[in-house]
Every structure is written in C-alpha cells, then in structure tokens.
Amino acid sequence: MIQLALALQDKDGRYAEHAGVVLASVFNNTASPVNVHILHDETLTDENKQKLLQLTARYKHTINFYPIVLPEEMLQVMAAVNSINIWTPACMYRLLLPALVEVEKIIYLDCDVLVNMDLAELWNTDLQHHYLGAVWDQGIREVAHVIHDKGLNPDLYFNSGVVLFSLNNIRSHVTWYQETINFLRNYPDSTMPDQDALNAVFGGNYLPLDLHYNFFNLTIPDHNYSSKIVHFAGPVKSWDQESPGWGLYRKYLRLTPWSPFRAIRKRRKRKVRYVNLRLKRIRKLKLRAKRRARAHVIFSKLRVARPGKSRRHHVMKSGKVRLLRPSGIRKLL
C-alpha cells in the first residue's frame, strides 16, 4: 500500500480543494491502494474534511487526519523566520513526518503539483540507506548565492515539493529533529525554511531522482505533462485560469466533490426530475378525464337502450293516452 502525505493550512477554504485535486490526480492514475495522511491545523473545516473523505472512499482508498500543534521550541524558532509568513506554518509540517506517521516510508506531495503518472513508480524506488529521494531544484540557480551563504550546494540542492522519505532511516538518525531546529535558529533569514532545513540535515545522504518525478512547469518543453509529476512552483499555479496547467487542473477538479460541473449536473437532474413528475401528473389527469368521458358515453347509451319503462313513462307524461284498469278489477270493485 502506498503511503501518501499532504500538508495544508486552509484559511480561505480553497486549499482543501487544491489538495482534493492532487488526490484525484493520484487516484485517477494509480492502480495500487493508497493510504492518505492529511497534516492540517484548525482551519480545515468539517465540510471540506467530509469532501476529502468522500473523494477517497469513491476510489476505495483510505485517509487519516492529523491535527497539528507545532512543538513550542519550533514555534519559538519560527517566530524569528520572516519567510514563514510567506509560505505559512503548514510548510513546516513535513519536517515532523518521522514523529507523526508510524510507517516505514512515505511520499510527500505539495498541493501545487499534479500527478499525471502512476505513483507506484515512485513508491517502488529502493532508497536503501538514504534518508530520502528527491529531485534537483530546477530554479535554484537563480538564488544560488543565497543558499551558498547557508553552507548548501546548489548542484546538490533538492526541491521538497515531491519527496520519498525513508522514515525508518531518518529515525535511526536520532539527532534529526535537533539539527533541524538548530539550522532554523542559526539562519532566520532563510527564504525557503523547510526546504533549506531538509537539505541541511539530509542533503548529504539523499538519492537524486529522475526529473519527471518533480518536473517544474516552467521548464517543460511545449507543456507536455504526460507521464510526469508536474510542479507549478512559482507565482502562477495550476488553478489560475491563465496558467498552461489550468486545463489539466480542471480535468481532475471534475473528479472531486468541489467540481462546479457536478453542482450543475445535480441542479439539472433536479430540474429533469421535477419536469418528469409534472408530465406524469398531467398524463394521469388526462387519463382520468378520458375514462370519465368514456364512462359518461356508455351510461348514456344504456339509458337510451332500456325498453318498456322509459317508453311508457314518456307516453304517460304526454297525456295523450289514458291508462285503463283491467276489466277484471272493475268487476271486483
């Protein structure tokens, strides 16, 4: 079973939708069973949680929710890191995966990726003794001088949007958490705090993965998204209508409970059901009226066809013939 983790903070109620689209892209392309782990804070509403449950159940996978309360020591360190307000505290949740999820290994995905391939291919990667597997960051050359100052090598620097973690190997490195805290404390000017910390602590022992496992949208020739995990790193996300990935995002959005097309279909079904009920009632009324008219015609024919009484009644009523008593009766009288 594939273990998959996503992290989100959902202040405006939209990020749960993006997480749902990521899951739909995974479920639609992956045949193996998937066990999902959602790391979240109090901003995830019950309604959106129910939609995530509904989506997962529809594809016959499983899902778990982890309400995150960050350790006090990490909160104190994060308070000095200015870029946290840009990325939100949820970006730090992936750093706690070894302590949160009791599995041997796990795939972590950012909510701005779309999985357009079978995730089992990444899952079956043998990490051996490595802490994690990740893809070299395709945009790091632009800020190479920034990470140099933190002792990080741009040639080996990996992106943390798609990571295959060997949690058992990380747990065996008992000082991993304290090393993470120390890096954040020593470099409060970090512009990508979670990613920098992961590179600082685990960058010396990670497995470089093929580019198609975390292909930046901006570097894909002709925006050919087939057989790739596409990462919309940068200001333009897949859910922006001007994005070249908008069509692919909309394709997977249709598979989720957030789909506007699904709401339209529901309204259309309700309207069709209402019209059908009206037509059925009209047909019943017409049939009833037709039966009444037929019964009236039959009754009228029966009245005309009755002999004796009706004819005698009309003759007596006209006054032209006087009804005589039989002679036998006169004699008796």
Please tell me what DSSP assigns to residue 251: H
Q: For 65, list phi and psi in degrees, rounded to 5.
A: -115, 135
Q: What does the block give as tokens for 46?
A: 């019950």
Q: What is the mean pLDDT of residues 151-165?
A: 96
Say whether pLDDT at 267 is over 80. no
The pLDDT tens digits for 292-305 are: 777 777 767 666 65
For residues 307, 309, 314, 317, the Cα torsion angle rounded to the nearest 10 degrees is 170
pLDDT for residue 316: 52
Q: What is the mean pLDDT of residues 285-297?
A: 78
Q: What does the block give as tokens for 90?
A: 């949820």
Structure-model confidence comparison of residues 291 and 178, the more confident one: 178
Q: What is the mean pLDDT of residues 108-118?
A: 97
- Would you say 196 and 147 are in contact if contact means Cβ atoms under 8 Å apart? yes
The C-alpha atoms of residue 287 and residue 107 are separated, in whole angstroms, by 64
pLDDT for residue 332: 43
Instruction: Supply the mean pLDDT for the chain.
Output: 88
- Would you say 135 and 209 are in contact if contact means Cβ atoms under 8 Å apart? yes
- What angle separates helix 15-29 from helix 46-58, to the nearest 10 degrees? 10
Please tell me what DSSP assigns to residue 232: -
Task: Delimit the domains of the chain by residue range.
Answer: 2-258, 266-320
The C-alpha atoms of residue 224 and residue 214 are separated, in whole angstroms, by 14
Between the two ends of the chain, the Cα-to-Cα distance in Å is 115
Provide CATH code, domain 2-258.
3.90.550.10
- Would you say 114 and 230 are in contact if contact means Cβ atoms under 8 Å apart? yes
Type of residue found at 111: C
The C-alpha atoms of residue 53 and residue 50 are separated, in whole angstroms, by 5
Q: Where residue 330 falls among pLDDT bands split at 50, 70, 90?
A: very low
Instruction: Compute how many other C-beta atoms are within 10 angstroms of the C-beta atom of residue 83.
Output: 16
| Residues β-bridged to residue 35 | 3, 62
H/E element, 4: strand 2-8
In three-state secondary structure terms, 325 is coil
The C-alpha atoms of residue 179 and residue 185 are separated, in whole angstroms, by 10
Burial track 277-286 (b if 16+ CB lie within 10 A, e otherwise)? eeeeeeeeee
